Amino acid sequence: MDSLADRTRSVWKRAVALGWPIAVQQTLNTMMRTVDIIVTGLFSPAAVAAVGLADLYAQIPLRIGLGLGTGAIAISSQDTGRGARNVRDRAITQALLIGILCGLPLVVVGVSFSHVLIDVLGAESDVVRLGGVYLLFVFAAAPMRITGLVGARSLQGTGDTRTPMLINGSTNALNILLTVALGLGVWIVPSLGVAGVGIATAISRTVEALAITGAIASSRTTLSLARPRDLAVTRQLVEVSIPTFAEGMSTSLANFPFNALLLLFGTEANAAYHVARRIYQQFTGPLYRSFATTASIIVGQQLGDGRPDDARFSASALVVLGVLVLGGTGVGLFVGASQLVSVFTQDPQTVAYAIEFTRVFGISMVFFGVFFPLAGALRGAGDTRTPFYARFTGAFVCMLGVSYLLGVPLGYGLPGIYVGIFLSYVCWAVVVGVGFLWGSWVETATAMMRERDAAAEDDRPVQ
């Protein structure tokens, strides 16, 4: 019998092996968005505002892709763990097809209403014109964006995290080159401004989707494309995906009134929040997203292999590692807040507020270390409702409700906002912790696998 320390080290080693490509991939994603902002910043403030407002709507295909991707990684990891390759391949093919179909209405919306969607936000005419053009290309590429996300998660569920990293890294590099070339005009390439940045995004997302699908169809990966045969998998994909989509959108929607709340304390306070948010996401986003995906892979495969006790132990070991890594990173954010903020702004009042916000995020990182591994573990089992409840409650009860109550009626001002933000992350950790300890996620995974098996049996021809 392996000792506790040996089992923990084994889980950690596997998590590192699976997780570092995911962290690299997420870092490159962040870098791509940073380049887009830098390039548009060279045009005009209206261009920056236009891309920023369009990105609010760009969250829709992103959230759809992540939602379907959660269903894909749950099924892919479970069926990989139990060796049900045919069932897995049909399910993954179905997820890709659903993703394409979900993206098609967004193409129609982009072609017909892209400028209207920017205008309803109250933007001035230049921002509406530029934002509408950018959003047109973003929505035109929506089916490809969703397909790329679903395909990447499907491959990750098999334990292959390097292929998505290589494809995503290459297409992000292509996006950066095209953004600079088409946006600014390089050599014989005309300067297309914001339209060029949008075209670069659409081209890179299309290349990514084709490359991911090609990798799945090739002999290079263990996945294959197979004709879907039943609606049971469709129902499972939808049931698992909808709470994840709602989870992401609840956070995105909560940002609208929360930003309005911050503006009550001045433009500097609002700007400081965004600076601090950018800092923590840049330094910790690749880490906590890696923990979530890695936990889904490991726990899903162990449940598929019929080892629920190992799945529970692995998730717990990943929480310990997450607390150590993200907690340590949070200490770095707290101590280095002044130096980090100075890179983004020199306005004295904004700097002062941003340092405080960054330190709030820093001390919150320990709860990220609990939430993301456990949320990933639950999603790997097919339980996406518990993470949704956690994020929804944290966003609307704590980040909005507590922040408003303390900050405005009770008169604590920004310190009240800091408390609300901190408590929102505590809420995340507590809710998923309760769901992990006392929830029926193991039974959920077992029921899903039995249902897929029953559907596969029904599809076999009578001898």
Nearest to 73 by CA among 367, 298, 260, 346: 298
Question: Does 390 reside within a domain?
Answer: yes
Considering the domain architecture, whether residues 313 and 447 belong to the same structural domain is answered as: yes
Question: Does 53 reside within a domain?
Answer: yes
H or E element: which one contains 375? helix 348-381
384-398 per-residue burial string, b: 16 or more CB within 10 A, e: under 16: bbbbbbbbbbbbbeb
Considering the domain architecture, whether residues 60 and 204 belong to the same structural domain is answered as: yes
Question: Does 235 reside within a domain?
Answer: no
- Kindly list the distances between the CA atom of residue 200 and the CA atoms of 190, 194, 250, 438, in Å, as whole numbers in the listed order: 13, 10, 29, 47
Question: Does 8 reside within a domain?
Answer: no
pLDDT digits (tens, 9 = 90+) for 315-370: 999 999 999 999 999 999 999 999 988 877 777 888 898 899 999 999 999 999 99
CB 445 within 8 A of CB 300: yes
Query: Of 168, 202, 229, which one is at a domain's C-terminal end?
Result: 229
Considering the domain architecture, whether residues 423 and 353 belong to the same structural domain is answered as: yes
In eight-state DSSP terms, residue 190 is -
Q: Could you give the dihedral angle defined by the CA atoms of residues 347, 352, 358 and 359, in that order, rounded to the nearest 10 degrees?
A: 160
How many Å apart are CA 425 and CA 13, to the nearest integer?
Answer: 27
Considering the domain architecture, whether residues 202 and 60 belong to the same structural domain is answered as: yes
Considering the domain architecture, whether residues 329 and 206 belong to the same structural domain is answered as: no
Domain that holds residue 80: 14-229
How many Å apart are CA 462 and CA 451, to the nearest integer?
Answer: 20
Considering the domain architecture, whether residues 276 and 215 belong to the same structural domain is answered as: no
DSSP sequence for 37-99: HHHHHTT-HHHHHHHHHHHHHHHHHHHHHHHHHHHHHHHHHHHHHTT-HHHHHHHHHHHHHHH
Cα-Cα-Cα-Cα dihedral sign, residues 150, 151, 152, 156:
positive
Considering the domain architecture, whether residues 175 and 312 belong to the same structural domain is answered as: no
For the chain, the farthest-separated pair of C-alpha atoms sits apart, in whole angstroms, at: 79
Considering the domain architecture, whether residues 259 and 333 belong to the same structural domain is answered as: yes
Considering the domain architecture, whether residues 252 and 225 belong to the same structural domain is answered as: no
**Which class for 372: exposed (0-12), middle (13-18), buried (19 or more C-beta within 10 A)?**
buried
Considering the domain architecture, whether residues 268 and 206 belong to the same structural domain is answered as: no
CB 36 within 8 A of CB 179: yes
Question: Does 7 reside within a domain?
Answer: no
Say how many domains are in the chain. Answer: 2
- Kindly list the distances between the CA atom of residue 193 and the CA atoms of 30, 137, 175, in Å, as whole numbers in the listed order: 21, 13, 14
How many Å apart are CA 321 and CA 160, to the nearest integer?
Answer: 21
| pLDDT tens digits in sequence order for the chain, 463 residues long | 468 888 999 999 999 999 999 888 888 887 777 677 677 767 776 777 777 778 778 888 988 998 899 889 998 999 898 888 888 898 899 999 999 999 999 999 999 998 898 888 776 788 788 889 999 999 999 999 999 999 999 999 999 999 999 998 899 889 988 988 888 887 777 778 888 889 999 999 999 999 999 999 998 888 888 887 777 888 888 888 889 888 888 887 887 788 788 888 887 887 788 778 878 988 898 999 999 999 999 999 999 999 999 999 999 999 999 999 999 999 999 999 999 888 777 778 888 988 999 999 999 999 999 999 999 999 999 999 999 999 999 999 999 999 999 999 998 999 999 999 999 999 999 999 999 999 999 999 999 888 887 766 655 443 3
Considering the domain architecture, whether residues 216 and 252 belong to the same structural domain is answered as: no
Question: Does 2 reside within a domain?
Answer: no
Phi/psi of residue 35, nearest 5 degrees: -65, -40
Query: Of 172, 195, 229, which one is at a domain's C-terminal end?
Result: 229
In eight-state DSSP terms, residue 462 is P
Question: Does 9 reside within a domain?
Answer: no
Question: Does 379 reside within a domain?
Answer: yes
Considering the domain architecture, whether residues 197 and 255 belong to the same structural domain is answered as: no
- Token digits of residue 37: 């902002």
Fill in the amino acid letter for 22. Answer: I
